[in-house]
Structure 1
Amino acid sequence: MNNINMNSKLIDRFLNRAKNWKDEMTLLRKICLDCLLTEEFKWMHPCYTYQGKNIVLIHEFKDYCALLIHKGALLKDTDTILIQQTENVQSARQIRFTNLQEIIDLEQTIKAYIYEAIEVEKAGLEVKMKKTDEFTMVDEFKKVLEDDSNLKTAFQSLTPRRQRGYLLYFSQAKQSKTRESRVQKCIPKILEGKGLND
């Protein structure tokens, strides 16, 4: 069985098992295929690519389903429909839907955004990502690093992506007590050279 058929079967299964947003995601799938994107199944979701490059992903949440545009930050967003999922998401942007009619009404706009995303990819454009040292390091973690040179060395030896993962995780906690708890729980992983999700 070729890869295209396998991906289609995986996506059929994904849609058939969907408890919410089945009709909406099915229509988003059709729109993506109408734009002549290659259908793949990545990160447990339908993903649509152009010459091997990720363009859009269909995913569902409790309150909405969304079309995630991988380099959405580079689109003009003339209709102001793109949403930055969280303040830490640098590249991707979502178009969110809460009912089928919204997708029907926006079909031509969605296609225009997909075609623009394909052009961004063809042009080889990249989102300028923040460097690790531009991320906030919470005081609770700074203090621990100052007091433990082995931990500081271990943290600095991590890949930039792993460092950013920890910095984001620590900074997302609202209370100092929670930040301290998160730091303490992560120290063994950092010393082992592992990332937050390793």
Structure 2
Amino acid sequence: MESKSENTGIWKYGEKWTEELLLLKTIVDKTELTETTKWGGPVYVYNKKNVVGLGGFKDYFAIWFFNGVFLKDDKKKLINAQEEVTKSLRQWRFTSKEEVNEKEILEYIAEAIENEKQGKIIKPSKKETIVSELLEKEMNQNPALKEAFQKFSPYKQYEFLEYIESAKQEKTKISRIEKVVPMILASVGLNDKYR
């Protein structure tokens, strides 16, 4: 969801749009969604999954679709409020009750519910691959180390590589390698002691 400061903004102007938000509510109430309250405002869920939310902002009131990125949006109503940040959330903004078209809104919500039923969600982006030349060198000199390292799951390999390569200085990387080599040889994952 958005940052904390933005969340408070969603409901800060709710009073300004009381009638308008009630109108949107009566429309959403005609669907199979269940109303809950999250982040201080109404959020409508299907099978406990957030589908749409309502809110009043300074200059507009809006309905937003949590997985709006999957909507066809034939009527070109939806916007991404934060291009760089928001992957799937889309807003439909209104500045007056006259702009609210119940039939269109219900079509969008029906599509959003259908997408939810089909399980359409954005998968978290894959982590970048990390290469540690120093560890590679170490493994080339020590076949047992290489073999032990390859037995770890990709996730655990990633943890080791990230730990080594997140060090700024070469000498720190070397000291980290010295620390993890015995762990790798003993088949102990970097964070196993915390699991």
Task: Tell me the TM-score normalized by structure 2.
Answer: 0.58
Q: In structure 2, what is the equivalent of residue 38 of structure 1? A: 34
Whether the aligned pair in 1 keeps the contact of 2:21 and 2:61 (CA below 8 Å) is yes
* In structure 2, distance between residues paired with 1:28 and 1:34: 10
Amino acid at match of 1:146: K
CA RMSD of aligned residues (A): 2.7
1:130-183 CA distance string (max 9 Å, x none): 4465xxxxxxxxxxx736x69xx9xxxxxxxxxxxxxxxxxxxxxxxxxxxxxx
> How many residues get paired?
126
Shift of 1:83: 0.5
Q: How does 1:52-131 map to 2 (within 5 A)?
A: 52-87=48-83, 88-103=85-100, 106-131=101-126
- Percent identity (aligned): 39
The list of structure 1 runs, each at least 4 consecutive aligned residues, that deviate by more than 2 angstroms after superposition, is: 128-133
1:64-95 CA distance string (max 9 Å, x none): 11101000001111111010011120011000
Structure 1 unmatched ranges of 5 or more? 1-13, 134-144, 154-198
Whether the aligned pair in 1 keeps the contact of 2:14 and 2:57 (CA below 8 Å) is no
- Report the CA distance shift for 1:129/1:74 in structure 2 as closer, same or farther (over 3 A): farther
Structure 2 unmatched ranges of 5 or more? 1-10, 129-166, 177-195
**Residue 29 (structure 2) pairs with residue 29 (structure 1):** no
1:6-30 CA distance string (max 9 Å, x none): xxxxxxxx8xx94211111001111
Whether the aligned pair in 2 keeps the contact of 1:55 and 1:118 (CA below 8 Å) is yes
Task: Tell me the TM-score normalized by structure 1.
Answer: 0.57
